[in-house]
Structure 1
Amino acid sequence: MLSVNLARPMPNPAKATKATKVTGIDKVPTDQAVPVRAPGPMRGGAGSGLRDDVIGNQRLHGGDDQAVYAYAREDLDHWQSTLDRPLANGNFGENLTTAGVDVTGARIGERWRVGTDGLLLEVTSPRTPCRTFASFLGVGGWITTFTRAAAPGAYLRVIHPGTVRAGDDIEVVDRPDTDITVGLVFRAIRGGESELLPRLLDVAALPEDIRALARKRIA
């Protein structure tokens, strides 16, 4: 774990949308141990799984299936080179910036033990880029560019609460016998590879809203 990042609330830069006025996408590293727990439902729960983090738009973000967002430093380095600008840990709104973890290649339902305090996380789904993300970075056509790269980072749910801090080890303790990865799900629902949609229907660890979207598109 390179860093654990918490929101620095700011006015939502996506002024043309009907999104909430405040966003927590601007996240910065903390050197403290941060408690992590299941936040409850997307609408009406605590939002983020990390204490003292902020989810601005809880209609579309946060909740148990998006309790924690992880992004690989290796992918940030790629974007840093591509965009020709420095990108600090947390600049993509991720709670956890990892090193040596194949986040896009993680399988849906894969479980990560983090640190030594019992924290157990389960990979659920890819991140979907939104206007707030694009406006925060200030990159024209960013949603399309990010989608084409198909390195979205992973949302995780909290199976067992605990604490997390920079320097913690991440151990994959359970990996389903399947090839349904974060990247495959992203390509199916965002990348135009509709032939992949039927493969999502029976993945129990995948959030129900994604399976419902797959069923709708197949129909």
Structure 2
Amino acid sequence: MKVSVTCIGQPEKVPGKTYRTGINKAPVSGAVMIDESGLLGDSVLNRKHHGGPDQAVYALGSVDLAAWSAELGETVEPGTFGENLVIEGLDSRLVRVGDRFETDDVLLEVTSTRTPCATLAARMGDPRFAKRFYQMARPGFYARVLRKGTIGAGDPVTHIPFDGQSVTMPYLLGLVTKQVTDQQRAHLLALPISERLRAALAG
């Protein structure tokens, strides 16, 4: 397993929206510095819902991009969904909260899943894309940076499974549209989830 692509984005407008967004990511060459805030040079504009220490990095697997390409009938280029990292050989459906991904320099810890929004739908030119995103159940994942350093295409990646009972990204995505039970809430709050998710569950 290795880093396939690293991507960053600059403030731009997407069709049908008046605000600027950093969702349009593009691959960069060479190594990029990554710290608790994310990749150096990457723009995160809607700080209420995106970014921050617990959502510093958004990642997908190459298996996910291949599946999306088949679903959409065209090649989905890295960065299309706003992801910062594409990991070669990874299927994000198998990733769980608390899993870690380690390179020689960087250590990431999975905190939550990506959920679709109006900006993503506008980016894809499909107002119903959120429903499609839920149905595909390949949401990728957000991660916090436990050890900062540089990261770039070709860097070997070790996937370290969470040592304990956890939840997968598709399972977590599915809970977004359902009423969470007390048992599910207690289970999630015991995991190293993002502070946004923790606040939503506690509230």
The alignment's TM-score, normalised by the length of structure 1, stands at: 0.83
**Change beyond 3 A, Cα 1:152–1:200:** farther
Whether the aligned pair in 2 keeps the contact of 1:180 and 1:200 (CA below 8 Å) is no
- Cα-Cα RMSD: 2.0
Bigger Cα displacement from structure 2, 79-88 vs 169-178: 169-178
Calculate percent identity across the aligned residue pairs: 34
- Out of 19, 27, 30, the residue aligned to residue 29 of structure 1 is 27
Tell me if 1:52 matches 2:41. Answer: yes
Whether the aligned pair in 2 keeps the contact of 1:13 and 1:132 (CA below 8 Å) is no
> Helix, strand or coil: the match of 2:39?
coil
Which residue of structure 2 lines up, in the alignment, with residue 15 of structure 1? Answer: 17
Whether the aligned pair in 2 keeps the contact of 1:72 and 1:101 (CA below 8 Å) is yes
Name structure 2 gaps, 5 residues minimum.
none
Kindly indicate whether structure 1 or structure 2 has the higher relative contact order, using CA contacts under 8 Å at least 6 residues apart. Answer: 2
Which residue of structure 2 lines up, in the alignment, with residue 63 of structure 1? Answer: 52
Which residue of structure 2 lines up, in the alignment, with residue 213 of structure 1? Answer: 200
Tell me if 1:177 matches 2:137. Answer: no
Whether the aligned pair in 2 keeps the contact of 1:33 and 1:165 (CA below 8 Å) is yes
Whether the aligned pair in 1 keeps the contact of 2:7 and 2:26 (CA below 8 Å) is yes
Question: Which residue type is aligned with residue 176 of structure 2?
Answer: I
1:121-136 matches, cutoff 5 A:
121-136=108-123
**Change beyond 3 A, Cα 1:84–1:173:** closer
Which residue of structure 2 lines up, in the alignment, with residue 6 of structure 1? Answer: 8
- Out of 138, 141, 144, the residue aligned to residue 125 of structure 2 is 138
Deviation at 1:80, TM superposition (A): 1.3
Tell me if 1:112 matches 2:114. Answer: no
Which deviations, in whole Å up to 9, do the C-alpha atoms of 1:87-129 show, x marking residues without a partner? Answer: 1111111000112123232121111112x2x211000000011
Whether the aligned pair in 2 keeps the contact of 1:107 and 1:176 (CA below 8 Å) is no
> Helix, strand or coil: the match of 2:6?
strand
- Out of 125, 132, 141, the residue aligned to residue 154 of structure 1 is 141
Question: Which residue type is aligned with residue 189 of structure 1?
Answer: V
Q: How far apart, in 2, do the equivalents of 1:161 and 1:183 lie?
A: 28
Whether the aligned pair in 2 keeps the contact of 1:121 and 1:158 (CA below 8 Å) is yes
Deviation at 1:30, TM superposition (A): 0.9
Tell me if 1:188 matches 2:167. Answer: no
Whether the aligned pair in 1 keeps the contact of 2:61 and 2:87 (CA below 8 Å) is yes
Deviation at 1:203, TM superposition (A): 2.6
Which residue of structure 2 lines up, in the alignment, with residue 44 of structure 1? Answer: none
Bigger Cα displacement from structure 2, 30-39 vs 73-82: 73-82
**Change beyond 3 A, Cα 1:128–1:166:** same
Deviation at 1:199, TM superposition (A): 5.3
In the alignment of these two chains, the number of paired residues is 200
Point out 4+ residue stretches in structure 1 off by more than 4 angstroms. Answer: none
Which deviations, in whole Å up to 9, do the C-alpha atoms of 1:48-106 show, x marking residues without a partner? Answer: x0001111211211001110000112111112121112211111110001121232321
